[in-house]
Structure 1
Amino acid sequence: MALNSDPATSTPPTPGRSRNMAAIKRRDTKPERTIRSLLHAAGKRYRVDVRLLLEGARPRPDILFTRAKVAVFVDGCFWHCCPEHGRQPGVNGGYWGPKLERNVARDRAADEALTAAGWVVVRVWEHEPPEEAVERIIKVVDAAAPPSRGARTQ
């Protein structure tokens, strides 16, 4: 089966690969769930998987702190080309190379659109120790959060 030359409509090379890719979760991955659990235990409240409509992009952060305007993405090493663990597949590079490049370009576009709209972006790699990632996220959220209103405390 030949690859479609249009990258926007290209499909995986085999029906088996297509089934595998369809089964890959877009949200609620183990690293995401672990980080969310630790954030919740630390008393942080957030929204999950909310699409933001911004000029030039429609990012969907994994974790969103709306009041502090902090968007958190938990990136998989393979899918987002981690400089430490990311690798190009040895088979069918003509399909995977452009696909992974589009993922990285989409990530950069989302970062730029969020920053331009006044959001702070935190990117966490799946290989990062969850406790360290959560500590980093909490520091950013606490620094970005507006002052408390009235007697309400967190």
Structure 2
Amino acid sequence: MNDGINWEPPQGSWASSAARRRNMQAIRSRDTKPERLVRSLLHAQGLRYRVAAKPLPGLRRTADIVFRSAKLAVFIDGCYWHGCPEHYVPPKTNSSYWSDKVARNVARDRDTDAQLEAAGWTVLRFWEHDPADDCALKIAAAVSRLRNRSQ
């Protein structure tokens, strides 16, 4: 058993300490509180959707909420991981690694948006700090508009 006293990061690991590694591993990539709030509001309106689903079979990326029939992909992005212009604060330790990581995430987000839109999908992105009520209203309106358009 490793008590963390003489902890060495695994070969090729980015973690600077055992505590940092545990902290980073605990961060959720799905079912975050903002996602659950928005989903709950959508469900209460009678809307049904897929959670953490791939909108396109060949695209190795998942949307937080997917309405297949409306071809709508919804992303609720974390302020830190996706570089929120309002709340992102560059890290003080290992800043070049983390700043590069966030920049890659933002570039991947833009690429995902472009690929989905090229395939005829509508993409909605919200920040984790956006009010859940506002997000749910915008999503429900988009679903209604897109479903009516396809009929």
| Deviates further, 95-104 or 30-39 | 95-104
Cα deviation 1:4-39 (Å, max 9, x = unaligned): 9xxxx7623333222211111111000000000000
Aligned length: 143
Alignment of 1:49-88 (within 5 A): 49-53=52-56, 57-88=59-90
Identity %: 50
Q: Pick the aligned partner of 2:38 from 27, 35, 39.
A: 35
Q: Which runs of 5+ in 2 are unaligned?
A: 1-7
1:51 Cα deviation after fit = 2.2
**Aligned partners of 1:10 and 1:107: how far apart in 2?**
25
- TM-score of the superposed pair, with normalisation by structure 1: 0.83
Alpha-carbon distance in 2 for matches of 1:96, 1:54: 30
Q: Corresponding residue for 2:5?
A: none
Q: Does 1:133 align with 2:135?
A: yes
SS of match in other structure, 1:62: strand
1:57-113, CA deviations, whole angstroms, 9 ceiling, x for partnerless residues? Answer: 422000000100000001111111111111211222122111111111111111111
Is there any run of 5+ residues in structure 1 with no aligned partner, and where?
Answer: 150-154
With normalisation by structure 2, the TM-score equals 0.85
| Aligned pair partner of 2:16 in 13, 31, 36 | 13
Which residue does 1:152 correspond to in 2? none
1:97 aligns with: 99
Match of 2:50 among 47, 57, 64: 47
CA RMSD of aligned residues (A): 2.2
Report SS of the residue matched to 1:79: coil
